[in-house]
Structure 1
Amino acid sequence: MLPTDPLLPGLPVLAQGFALGFGLIVAIGAQNAFVLRQGLRREHVASVVLFCAAADAVLIAAGVLGMAQALGERPGVARVLAVAGALFLAVYGWRALQRARRPQGLDAAADGASLTRTGALAQAAAFTLLNPHVYLDTVLLVGSIGAQQPAGLRAWFVAGASGASLLWFVLLGFGARALAPWFAWPRAWQVLDGLIAVTMGGLAVLLMRHAALGP
């Protein structure tokens, strides 16, 4: 018998985490606008990008580990969370589809007062940690889905979701000058929201299948 590649079981879980994380983080919002603004100004970009990505990674890992511990040997609770997560993703995908029907651009003007590194990080922290949706997305939703992965594959899921966050913030911050016209073009967001709607719909189907078949 040929040896099994240990990477193979983790790659689908990595991809699922990446797709979920990317779909949740890509949206027109204050945090994205702030990162894009700092990128346009070329002001403390690395610090802001690293803070936002690290905060997401910590919240995602805490959510997955905490939810895994909370679920324990409670398959009934896991099944309920899977159904609830599927419904949430279905609604999220539907909202993305509605945004695609009424696209708008992301306007992040580069004017305004310059910020110190401390001031930029303070604003990044406020946009990240004072937004209640970040806890719903990372801790509850991503955490509950990641916690249902086999114990040996949860790290792959966390890596995928965290990698999506890091990639997005790097694109926003360091690619701001090149990507700003694209982000200001409503049709680009229409295409992106359409892809998000399809992705979230697919993940919702997978979760419903998980709920139906059980762990």
Structure 2
Amino acid sequence: MDSAFLSGFALSLSLILAIGAQNAFVLRQGLRRQHVLAVVLTCAVSDAVLIAAGVTGFSWVAQAAPWVQPLFRWGGAAFLLVYGAISFRNALRGGEALEAAGNGDWSLRAAILTCLALTWLNPHVYLDTLVLIGSVSTKFPGRHFAFGAGAMAASFVFFFALGYGARLLAPLFAKPGAWRLLDVGVGTLMWAIAFSLILDTQG
């Protein structure tokens, strides 16, 4: 399989895996089996739109202003190093567990509006998709669309797996130890990508 596609898939998946309100809401809806298809599609399609904007827009900007590419590569590497360090810190501290099941039912409209708010009103999603994924995509000249496709595929795979596999995943990720392992994996991947960006910039 195309290395650009796999790289996009891995980066996007590592970003989505972080504990957050959006994932907690998707897991909650999956546990209660309420509007699961609408919820996961809303999250995945929103991500796909933002990823497409990041990959295409950043490539255009990089061609118009060549100095932007190394600037954002260094910025992306710095962000990944910090993000990875936070993941390692969380793994050392432990005590994290995802509380997903809540009380009360949600209407279809309320569920979709909540998903849209958790996605589009979250400032981190713009950094992840428009800046970070967009900047890393420049490592694959001529194949940035494959990179973007991989990133989008990761979003769809993750949200569908989380929504429909919630009843299987919830007991596992209610345990702090599972999140420790996840944080270590995410931190390792983040740092690996950061160092690859730094080496490319120096080269």
TM-score range, shorter chain: over 0.9
**1:106 corresponds to which of 86, 98, 121:** 98
Q: Does the 8 Å contact 2:61/2:68 carry over to 1?
A: no
Q: Which residue of 2 aligns with 1:82?
A: 73
What do residues 54-78 of structure 1 show as CA deviations (whole Å, max 9, x unaligned)?
Answer: 1001100101111111111543321
CA distance in 1, matches of 2:127, 2:155: 15
TM-score (norm 2): 0.95
Counterpart amino acid of residue 137 in structure 1 = D
SS of alignment partner, residue 25 of structure 2: helix
Q: Which residue of 1 aligns with 2:13?
A: 22
Unaligned runs of 5+ in 1: 1-6
Larger radius of gyration: 1
TM-score (norm 1): 0.90
Counterpart amino acid of residue 5 in structure 2 = L
Q: Structure 1 residue 161: deviation in Å?
A: 1.0
Q: Which residue of 1 aligns with 2:152?
A: 162
SS of alignment partner, residue 67 of structure 2: helix
Q: Structure 1 residue 48: deviation in Å?
A: 0.5
RMSD: 1.2
Q: Which residue of 2 aligns with 1:118?
A: 109
CA distance in 2, matches of 1:167, 1:99: 25
Unaligned runs of 5+ in 2: none
Matches for 1:6-155 after TM superposition, within 5 Å = 11-103=2-94, 104-112=96-104, 114-151=105-142, 153-155=143-145
Q: Which residue of 2 aligns with 1:187?
A: 177
Q: Does the 8 Å contact 1:40/1:110 carry over to 2?
A: no
SS of alignment partner, residue 115 of structure 1: coil
CA distance in 2, matches of 1:27, 1:84: 20
SS of alignment partner, residue 207 of structure 1: helix
- 4+ residue runs over 2 A deviation: 73-77
Q: Does the 8 Å contact 1:78/1:148 carry over to 2?
A: no
Counterpart amino acid of residue 189 in structure 1 = W
